[in-house]
Amino acid sequence: MKAVSRVTGHALPLDRRDVDTDQIIPSDWLKRVERTGYGAGLFEAWCADPSFVLNDPRFAGATVLVAGANFGCGSSREHAAWALEDRGFRAVVAPSFADIFRSNCLAIGLVTTELPEVDVARILAAVAHDPSIEITVDVEWRSVAVPALGYAEPFSLNDASRARLLAGQDEIDLSLAHADAITSYESRRPAWLPRVRTAAG
């Protein structure tokens, strides 16, 4: 995972709530075994409509997606985060996110930023009107700034997530550093808990 301390860029305004992961990346793309190349499938069905915002050349090169509440609801497919990443997005701003989607984004260093619904509505309207408006999501200072609006507000990000983003830490390495605690826990597990016979057994 790449370290990220700050994202500054243009925004893509997606003024819809409950955007589900089936829209972000349709299931047909999930048959692939590769880790990259999902950008072309991002919002594939909606992109069939020429007036869909992702087709609008004024927003080409946007790195911050701004969307409605409950973004990323539905399936656990990390491919949704991969598709956004592959298409160049580095942060998503919304009033709320689905829990699994948020975890998946954190795992790859895509910053999810929750702001109050009225603030998101204001940013959506401003960006739709003027695509040149820049947004900065600052992980280090846990703040969002839209200078053109005179907007600068903090957002909530727990210490552990912030540290992971800033350092680009591999979470497996972090957990394996506690291998002794894992082994100790294993020695205390009740004997009757089920075990799958392994392939060899």
Partner 1 sequence: MSARTLAEKVWDDHVVRRSPGEPDLLYVDLHLVHEVTSPQAFDGLRLAGRRVRRPDLTLATADHNVPTTVGRPIGDPVSARQIEALARNCAEFGIRSYPMGDARQGIVHVIGPQLGLSQPGMLIVCGDSHTSTHGALGAIAFGIGTSDVEHVLATQTISRERPRTMAVTIDGQAPADVSAKDIILGIIARIGTGGGAGHLIEYRGDAIRALSMEGRMTVCNMSIEAGARAGMIAPDDTTFAYLKGRPHAPAGAEWQRALDGWRSLATDPDAPFDREVRIAAADLRPYVTWGTNPGQAVAIDGRVPDPNALADEASRASAWRALAYMDLRTGTAMRDIAVDTVFLGSCTNGRIEDLRAAADVLRGRRVRDGLRALVVPGSMAVRAQAEAEGLDRVFLDAGFEWRSAGCSMCLGMNDDVARPGERVASTSNRNFEGRQGPGARTHLVSPAVAAATAVAGHLASPADLSR
- Identify the CA nearest to 63 among candidates 140, 135, 141, 143: 135
- Report the nearest approach of partner 1 to the CB of residue 157 (Å): 12
Nearer to partner 1 by C-beta: 16 or 58? 16
- Report the nearest approach of partner 1 to the CB of residue 161 (Å): 8
Give the integer Cα–Cα distance in Å for 127 and 12.
8
Nearer to partner 1 by C-beta: 10 or 17? 17
Nearer to partner 1 by C-beta: 53 or 145? 53
| Cα angle 169, 9, 53; round to 5 | 110
- Report the nearest approach of partner 1 to the CB of residue 6 (Å): 22
**DSSP class of residue 61?**
T
Interface residues with partner 1 (CB under 8 A) are: 15-18, 20, 22-23, 26-28, 30-35, 45, 68-70, 73-79, 81, 96, 98-100, 103-104, 107-108, 117, 158-160, 171-172, 174-176, 178, 181-182, 185-186, 189-201
Residue type, 91: A
- Report the nearest approach of partner 1 to the CB of residue 173 (Å): 9
Structure tokens at 13: 């305004």
User: Taking a C-beta distance cutoff of 8 angstroms, is the pair 170, 1 a contact?
Assistant: yes
Nearer to partner 1 by C-beta: 132 or 172? 172
- Report the nearest approach of partner 1 to the CB of residue 75 (Å): 5
Nearer to partner 1 by C-beta: 39 or 74? 74
Q: Which residues of 70-107 are buried (b: 16+ CB within 10 A; e: fewer)?
A: bbbbbbebbbbbbbbbbbebbbbbbbbbbebbbebbbe
